[in-house]
Amino acid sequence: MFAKGRLRVLFRLCRYVLWSPVERAWMALDKVGYARHLGVTIGSGCSIWARPDIAFGQEPYLVTLGDHVYVSAGVQFINHDSGVWVLRGEDKLSEVYAPICVGNNVFIGLRAIILPGVTIGDNVIIGAGAVVTRDIPSGSVAVGVPARVKGTVDDYAVRVRERALPCHHLKGRAKDAFLRAHFGGRTGTEA
């Protein structure tokens, strides 16, 4: 009997092998281009770390991203409410769909979920794991489940400048050496 983790790896491997080679290569090289191919409207200077075939759901053409938007890994845009399934016995309702619109200069953190009909303004930070159920105004930092505005981007910038390290230009071993020296050789495994 396979362990749960091995089954998960086997499933991912099978899914990867069954994709067409062109699809795999395209998505690996250019996730923004692949998302556009799926129907997402995307501005310039965007970066997508999520898998576009999963992130933008079954109706990717209902998602619009402005300029300079960063979509982290695991983010999901859900543009339909299939909860009407429960009501189908008594009422023959159709599906409920709504577009999602993301403004310019937006960061969407790891595994955030954006629900149908949401508009995210310009200059916004969406925290990791946030579930965005309503519109987020421009210049805001929104976190939590459900996502709530917890401050402004300007306040966030002040807090970050106090903790920021001058290592953005460093790569690989140079960055590792800088961080080890800065934190006194401590690693995350020490108690």
Domains and CATH numbers, the chain: 4-182 (2.160.10.10)
107: closest CA among 163, 68, 138, 64?
A: 68
Taking each continuous run of H as one helix and of E as one strand, the counts in the chain are: 6, 15
Contact 55, 100 (CB under 8 A): no
Cα 129–chain centre separation: 9
pTM: 0.77
CA dist 153 and 107 (Å) reads 11
pLDDT tens digits for range 72-126: 999 999 998 877 777 777 666 677 889 999 999 999 999 999 999 999 999 999 9
What's residue 95's pLDDT? Answer: 77
CA angle 105, 107, 111 (to 5 degrees): 155
What's residue 175's pLDDT? Answer: 87
Q: What are phi and psi of 89, to 5 degrees?
A: -65, -40
CA dist 132 and 108 (Å) reads 10
* pLDDT tens, N- to C-terminus, the chain (191 residues): 556 666 666 666 665 566 555 555 555 558 888 889 889 999 999 999 888 878 988 899 999 999 999 999 999 999 988 777 777 776 666 778 899 999 999 999 999 999 999 999 999 999 999 999 999 999 999 999 999 999 999 999 988 888 888 887 888 888 888 888 888 866 555 54
CA dist 108 and 139 (Å) reads 14
